[in-house]
Amino acid sequence: MTAHARRDGDGISRRNFARLLAAGGSAALLGKTGFAFERPAPLPQTPTSPDEAFWRSVREQFPMPMNVSVMNAANLCPSSLPALEAMYENTKDVDGNPSFQNRAKMGEGKVNTRKILADYLHTTPEQIVITRNTSEGNNFVSSGVELTANDEVIIFNHNHPSNNVAWKEKAKRYGFTVTELEVVNPHPGPDYYIDLVRRSITARTKLLSFTHQTNTVGDLFPAKELCQLAHEHGVLVLVDGAQSFGLMDVNLSDMQPDFYTGSAHKWPCGPKETGVLFINNRAHDKIWPSIHSAGRGDVGISRTFESLGQRDEPAIIAFGEALKFQQQIGMKTIQARSQELAQSLMEQLKTIEGVTLTTSQDPTLSQAVVVFEASGIDARKLYNALYDNEKIGTAGRANGLRISPHFYNLHSEIDRTVAAIKHYMTTGV
């Protein structure tokens, strides 16, 4: 059976699964009890100008079959096969022998993942906490920074609830003020937000919190400039990186936030319920841990912040493998590819009658989250028809859709999606 055979079908059928079991060895990632995914041909070295054939070989490294086009990376990505294999093999190992002695090596895996995370984010391991997701990281910050009735926090209305509602709820308890700034559509440009924040900071402002790329409309925020501005006023900054971590070549040494958060299951294509919280050395004494339990990290801030009870160590190891897989391709290459797909999507969508782009097409203002409104059609029915009839996975919006392609998607999927939307917009659903 070839690597393509499985992808013509609907995932792995029972018959193919049995064949894989029978094949064993080199053809499949099969342990004794069977890791039921085929081992694709090794990923070639990333060419200087990657073509569609290269990206097809990247797609082979994901279990998502070719007739399923999920373009919802802003919500959940498929795990890459190297991550899945690490998850499977280590879980099998732990559950086959859960003794302290056998699990000791998992600690080294966690140390290793922290090093990979630091390298990936262009920072150092003593500033890295391996969390469970962005929500947890954001809440560690809003619960951990000491704020009193005299203090103010500035947030944006497009922040995710874990970085918006969380602040408002904690303000009720601790008495600090939350000032909510408005995101403007169409994207008014980076200078608008730099100026807005400059005008909004007061003597009481203790913290600024914004989203690097918004999940709502895909707006890019000028992260480095906002961090710089806040620091000039002695204000701490939380950058929610749920929509940039794993998509962009994020350089925290350059951006210099006090806190940066992300999830493995989104753009990094890693396991569920693993994530990262970066705490700048400069802010280590400005935040309290929210959870105290047994176990702790090996270095720096992880010694106090990573005491989170029993962890899913195989998932943490798989997190590292997911990042290594992306590094093998190159983060700059991945960032460019995702944006290229998003740009093609927007270019084609705007030719469809009734479609209005909400996301800016300016490549300095958006990355790979595309939102549009569709008039003259029930957006919910469009969302359902795309999945039910075409196996195209998107996210529903009040009057339209959000489509977030990533490096495992192909131009043929973008074209297929546009053709399907055009068809339903013309004929109705």
- Interface with ligand PLP (CB under 6 A): 75, 133-135, 160, 162-163, 211, 215, 240, 242-243, 263
Q: Which is nearer to ligand PLP, 50 or 268 (CB)?
A: 268
Shortest distance, CB of residue 331 to ligand PLP, whole angstroms? 19
Shortest distance, CB of residue 201 to ligand PLP, whole angstroms? 22
- Residues in a beta bridge with 179: 154
Q: Which is nearer to ligand PLP, 74 or 331 (CB)?
A: 74
Q: Which is nearer to ligand PLP, 230 or 242 (CB)?
A: 242
Q: Which is nearer to ligand PLP, 242 or 357 (CB)?
A: 242
CA-to-CA dists, residue 317 to 259, 270, 274, angstroms: 23, 10, 10
Shortest distance, CB of residue 367 to ligand PLP, whole angstroms? 13
Q: Which is nearer to ligand PLP, 39 or 212 (CB)?
A: 212
Shortest distance, CB of residue 387 to ligand PLP, whole angstroms? 19
* DSSP element (H, E) containing 38: strand 37-38
Shortest distance, CB of residue 346 to ligand PLP, whole angstroms? 20
355: Cβ–Cβ under 8 A, 6 or more apart, which residues?
349, 372, 373, 374, 400, 421, 425
Q: Which is nearer to ligand PLP, 125 or 268 (CB)?
A: 268
Shortest distance, CB of residue 240 to ligand PLP, whole angstroms? 5
416: Cβ–Cβ under 8 A, 6 or more apart, which residues?
69, 390, 392
- Beta strands 69-70 and 37-38 are unpaired
CA-to-CA dists, residue 397 to 1, 363, 401, angstroms: 41, 22, 5
Shortest distance, CB of residue 327 to ligand PLP, whole angstroms? 21
State how far the Cα of 151 lies from the Cα of 204, in Å rounded to an integer: 5
Shortest distance, CB of residue 287 to ligand PLP, whole angstroms? 18
Q: Which is nearer to ligand PLP, 218 or 289 (CB)?
A: 218
Q: Which is nearer to ligand PLP, 73 or 377 (CB)?
A: 73
Go through the chain and tell me how many residues it has.
Answer: 429
Helices (H), 205-276: 223-232, 252-255
